[in-house]
Amino acid sequence: MTRYWNPAEVETLRGAVLAETSPGGVNWEGVAGAVGSKTAKQCSVRFHNIEKFGDRPNARMQWSPLQDHLLLHIAMANGNAWAAVAGQLGVGVSVAKNRYYVLQRMARRDQPVLVLE
């Protein structure tokens, strides 16, 4: 079994998941049989962690200035309730929280330094 997924395997995985899904769930052994080079567990992990969200692995969200402003505004209104903040923005909890702290660090860095003479 190979470790990395090539584009053909990913496309086969997507099609096989659709074909092997029933009211009882997904037949991961059947999906693995269709993919051929991966185990049922590898197919399940790849699908649940990456494919069903439509993101590439390690893909980063590009935040616009408007989204940054909304994040700061919503975070101020909700405090540390990151699930509420993320829900209003339509992103994951970790994504919202991490971006908030990145913006806080950027703000601290951009403030002028007081020089006492």
| Alpha-carbon gap, residue 10 to 38, rounded angstroms | 11
CB 74 within 8 A of CB 91: no
Take residue 30 and report the two structure tokens written for it: 């059947």
Residues 22-71: tens digit of each pLDDT: 888 899 999 999 999 999 999 998 888 777 665 554 456 788 889 999 99
| Alpha-carbon gap, residue 86 to 71, rounded angstroms | 9
| Alpha-carbon gap, residue 28 to 30, rounded angstroms | 5
In the predicted model, is pLDDT for residue 95 greater than 90?
no
pLDDT at 52: 66
Report CA-CA distances (Å) from 47 to 31, 44, 57, 68, 93: 11, 5, 11, 30, 20
What are the sequence ranges of the domains in the chain? 7-53, 65-110
CATH topology for 65-110 is Arc Repressor Mutant, subunit A (1.10.10)
pTM greater than 0.85: no
Q: Strand, coil or helix: what is 99?
A: helix
CA 8 from centroid of its chain's CA atoms: 22
pLDDT at 35: 93
